[in-house]
């Protein structure tokens, strides 16, 4: 007889890393003329084979454990990314901060602000990335996961195209990969 076990577990500590390979980073910088930067407390580090490797601290929320597997949940982060460029001669920035990964759908939302010249638009919480190829592993209270593709959403590609002042980015464009690791605080045995 199998035992069905389900519990919600709070996340104690952890981090999520995103890697933009060198060819994608070069296209963003040299073709779109956009400079990506990491917002503190995130950290931007040189990645393998150059590229950009950004790490963001996980600050909380929960995951649902069903029969010893992570079935869904939300992972929240501090820090973010800012994409800076020129839109028709004006300074332009897309700022995405405080990411939330929704494990059930693979969507990543963020607080989003688009500024072109003096026009600052607070867009609110917007779905900016879609994770594909997600695998999640749990060993006691330690959870790790990887996503083979981090893809732009329609909202993110539209905002980046406004900064580039040309239609370069498309929804579904793969810009890199991601991984995360965190520790759980379990309230009941599962």
- DSSP sequence for 11-55: EEEEEEEEEE-HHHHHIIIIIS--EEEEETTSEEEE-TTSSEEEE
Whole-number pLDDT of residue 161 = 95
Q: Is 5 within the bounds of a domain?
A: no
128-146: per-residue pLDDT in tens?
A: 999 998 888 888 788 888 9
60-87: per-residue pLDDT in tens?
A: 877 877 766 676 788 999 999 999 999 9
Whole-number pLDDT of residue 4 = 54
**Dihedral sign for Cα atoms in the order 8, 10, 13, 18:** positive
Which is more confident, 121 or 140?
A: 121
Whole-number pLDDT of residue 2 = 47
Q: Is 2 within the bounds of a domain?
A: no
d(Cα 162, Cα 168) in Å, to the nearest integer?
10
What's the pLDDT band for 104 if we cut at 50, 70, 90? confident
Task: Write phi, then psi, for 140 (nearest 5 degrees).
Answer: 55, -120
Task: Provide the residue range defining the domain that includes 161.
Answer: 13-183
Q: Is 116 within the bounds of a domain?
A: yes
Give the N- to C-terminal CA distance of the chain in Å, as an integer: 16
Q: Is 3 within the bounds of a domain?
A: no
Highest mean pLDDT among 7-16, 69-78, 163-172: 163-172
Q: Is 109 within the bounds of a domain?
A: yes
41 cis-preceded (ω within 30 degrees of 0): yes
Q: Is 19 within the bounds of a domain?
A: yes
Q: Is 44 within the bounds of a domain?
A: yes
What's the pLDDT band for 174 if we cut at 50, 70, 90? very high
Q: How many domains does one find in the chain?
A: 1
């Amino acid at each position: 007889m199998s035992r069905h076990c389900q519990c919600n577990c709070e996340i104690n500590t952890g981090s999520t890393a995103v890697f933009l390979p060198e060819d994608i980073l070069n296209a963003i910088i040299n073709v779109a003329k956009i400079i990506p930067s990491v917002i503190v407390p995130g950290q931007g580090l040189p990645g393998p084979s150059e590229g950009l490797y950004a790490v963001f601290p996980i600050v909380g929320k929960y995951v649902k454990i069903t029969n010893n597997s992570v079935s869904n949940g939300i992972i929240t982060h501090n820090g973010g990314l800012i994409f800076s460029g020129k839109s028709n001669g004006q300074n332009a920035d897309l700022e995405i901060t405080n990411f939330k990964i929704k494990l059930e759908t693979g969507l990543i939302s963020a607080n989003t602000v688009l500024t072109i010249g003096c026009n600052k638009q607070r867009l609110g919480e917007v779905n900016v990335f879609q994770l594909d190829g997600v695998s999640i592993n749990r060993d006691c209270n330690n959870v790790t996961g990887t996503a083979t593709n981090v893809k732009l959403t329609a909202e993110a590609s539209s905002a980046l195209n406004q900064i580039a002042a040309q239609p370069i980015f498309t929804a579904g464009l793969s810009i890199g990969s991601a991984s995360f690791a965190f520790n759980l605080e379990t309230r009941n045995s599962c």
